[in-house]
Amino acid sequence: MTTIVRETKGGLSTLVRQPQEEGDPRGIIILLHGWGADGADLMDLAPVMALRLPHFIFAAPDGPEACSANPMGRQWFELNQDQAGLDDGPDQAQGHVTALIDEMCRSHGLGPENVALIGFSQGGMMALHTGMRLQTSPAGIVSFSGALLAPDRLEKEKTSSPPVLLVHGRDDQVVPYQALTIAEAVLKQADVKVSSVTREGLGHGIDGEGLEAAINFLTEAFPE
């Protein structure tokens, strides 16, 4: 039976799922939840992903703050604030995610190039925001129903260029589909290898086809 434990990583309460197969792990997949959820929400994806990625650790941290609209859930940063706050919040949360990556890499003898970031909604925003600012490029980033925060700052602040997959529902009423087209254009302008998947008829969520696209992307990002 695969073991899942709760540990503190980078100052965040984190669910950690050990590899499905025995032996040294080949990489770490960080799962970043959406606004008002918690790490357990995206950890539900791990069993499906592990079928194709059995030698990987999955880590799903809880956001650093209680959600302002749902105290039982967590958030990466507050949404209901002015532009200065929207700039500061992701930057502060980025420090936690970076610390989590560093700690997990040290624990398992891996480098940031052996890490992939996957996020949904606000977690997708954080995956992009953090992944582009790591000192070493991660293996890849997947953003489900997310957006590129502070696009005007990307060129100045970008320190890595990992491949990116954007997945978004055409009928998303929470984070509009236009967020995908904006992110794709800005990332390409910044010389980032980016691909996208549009899910027709899908709202704010992850469906089987989108998840399959993400798994295919990761199997290419982590070659044998």
Q: How does the average pLDDT of the chain come out, rounded?
A: 93
Contact 164, 140 (CB under 8 A): yes
Going by their DSSP bridges, the two strands 164-169 and 140-144 should be labelled as: parallel
Task: Tell me the per-residue pLDDT of 194-213, one tens digit each, with 9 for 90 and over.
Answer: 999 999 999 999 999 999 99
Angle between the N-to-C axes of helices 83-108 and 122-131, in degrees from 0 to 180, rounded to the nearest 10: 70
- Quickly tell me which residue has 């500061």 as its tokens: 88
Residue 87 pLDDT level (bands cut at 50, 70, 90): low
Residue 224 pLDDT level (bands cut at 50, 70, 90): low
Question: In the prediction, which pLDDT does 79 show?
Answer: 81
pLDDT at 7 over 60: yes
Residue 86 pLDDT level (bands cut at 50, 70, 90): low
Question: What Cα–Cα distance (Å) separates residue 28 from each residue in 25, 58, 104, 197?
Answer: 8, 6, 8, 23
Question: In the prediction, which pLDDT does 88 show?
Answer: 77
What proportion of the chain, given as a percentage, has pLDDT over 90?
Answer: 86
Question: In the prediction, which pLDDT does 85 show?
Answer: 47
pLDDT at 178 over 70: yes
Task: Tell me the per-residue pLDDT of 110-131, one tens digit each, with 9 for 90 and over.
Answer: 999 999 999 999 999 999 999 9
Contacts of 141 (CB under 8 A, 6+ apart): 116, 117, 118, 127, 128, 131, 132, 162, 163, 164, 165
Residue 84 pLDDT level (bands cut at 50, 70, 90): very low
DSSP secondary structure string for all residues of 130-174:
HHTT-SS--SEEEEES---SSGGGHHHH------EEEEEETT-SS
Task: Tell me the per-residue pLDDT of 92-103, one tens digit each, with 9 for 90 and over.
Answer: 999 999 999 999
Contact 133, 94 (CB under 8 A): yes
pLDDT at 140 over 60: yes
pLDDT at 75 over 60: yes
Question: Torsion over CA of 102, 107, 109 and 115, rounded to 10 degrees?
Answer: -50
Give me the domains of the chain, ranges plus CATH numbers: 4-221 (3.40.50.1820)
Mean pLDDT of 52-75: 94
